[in-house]
Amino acid sequence: MIFENNGRERFLEAVTDFEAAVRERDVDRSERAFGELYRSIGEAGEQEVGKAAPRLAALLPDVPPGPRGTIAVMVGACVERGADAVPCAPYVFAELAETLAAVGEFCERWEETGGGDFPDPEGGEPDPALFDRVGPEQALAWLTLPQWEMASVAMLSHAAVRTALDAALRDRLLRAVGSVAEASGHTFKCLTYALLVLDEPLIVLHRPTGTGYAMRMGGIGDNFQLHTLLADVLVGGGHVPGRAPSAEEAAVCRDQPGQVHTTGSFNLVSPTGEWVWNEGTPSDIPVVDGVRLLVLDPPPYERSWPSGRFFPNMTGDLVLERALAPEEAGRLLAGCVTKDG
């Protein structure tokens, strides 16, 4: 026990030492403290990571660009081990925005200097010529973007962070990631999907029975997960006919680890008749009169997939708030078209 406590204290001591070294711009001391942080974080307990995470996050603007992404990953690791993400997230997102801006410059300079296949940002030791070709700041931004993706996903796995995230900043980050993907061919899908996660109402219309349901979704990473939860709530709850997923299939889509094979129960359709693909996200569902509106049709063929969560550390849920009155459901369905018309 004494050894364990000493190990935990060692991590907080390293945090204190790193803070002082960074703020004093002491390069040698910063490197020593950084190494000690890296070595001791695994020994820290929940109380220690809870204290360390906001301190390290607040330090991010002052950390040199090289190790900055690694410190962000440490903040994310602390959050995954129980630290409060809310005070950490604004610092992470601010630096993510700066990194994405520099990555945008990287993409422009890459094309201006001959183009070609973009280097793999996770491909190990970079070619020194990369820094000369596009500039050191831009090269470091490209090479550390996967670290910022990891840290940001750790923040966005918490509903309190997602609901507090400024909509304008969220849209700016999504546009920046989209531009990078278009220019480079690297999608950074986890970051994109995490920024697209919704915590909001959803209206669901079941066309075969003419019924409708007001629901609330949260923490759902993709439409595979949404599909399974819809079947659990509506079929499993006895509201519509069809195949209900097992308790285990539904649980892994909410908060339990693992994946379980499942079979689809519906065809997800927009009010204008286009398919809402399982491979997409709930953000693909159109907004009608201020709320997302989804139509459920019979499945045209059997579809199966591993049921689970796109983000294993993100709790997902879908709650039925009320069944729509028949006249309300009928009015909404009258405004929807089928795939054929």
267 pairs with which residues across the strands? 297
CA 96 to centroid of chain Cα atoms: 13
Q: Quick one: pLDDT band at residue 224, thresholds 50, 70, 90?
A: very high
Closest to 221 measured CA to CA, from 247, 254, 250, 172: 254
The single-letter DSSP state of residue 42 is G
Distances in Å between the alpha carbon of 85 and those of 74, 82, 154, 158, 168? 12, 9, 8, 7, 20
Q: Is the dihedral of CA 225, 190, 217, 210 positive or negative?
A: negative
- Are 299 and 265 in contact by the 8 Å Cβ rule? The answer is yes
Is a pLDDT exceeding 50 seen at residue 63? yes
- Are 144 and 69 in contact by the 8 Å Cβ rule? The answer is yes
pLDDT in tens, 177-187: 999 999 999 99
Closest to 275 measured CA to CA, from 287, 286, 265: 286
pLDDT in tens, 264-320: 999 999 999 999 999 999 999 999 999 999 999 999 999 999 999 999 999 999 999
Whole-number Å distance between alpha carbons of 205 and 169? 32
Q: Quick one: pLDDT band at residue 189, thresholds 50, 70, 90?
A: very high
pLDDT in tens, 4-44: 445 568 999 999 999 999 999 999 999 999 999 999 999 89
Place of tokens 């950490």: 88
pTM confidence score? 0.93
Q: Quick one: pLDDT band at residue 152, thresholds 50, 70, 90?
A: very high
Closest to 77 measured CA to CA, from 38, 126, 24, 104: 38
DSSP output for 85-108 = STTTHHHHHHHHHHHHHHHHHHHH
Q: What number of helices (H) and strands (E) belong to the chain?
A: 13, 8
The residue ranges of DSSP E strands in the chain, in sequence order, are 199-206, 211-218, 260-263, 267-269, 287-288, 291-297, 304-307, 317-323
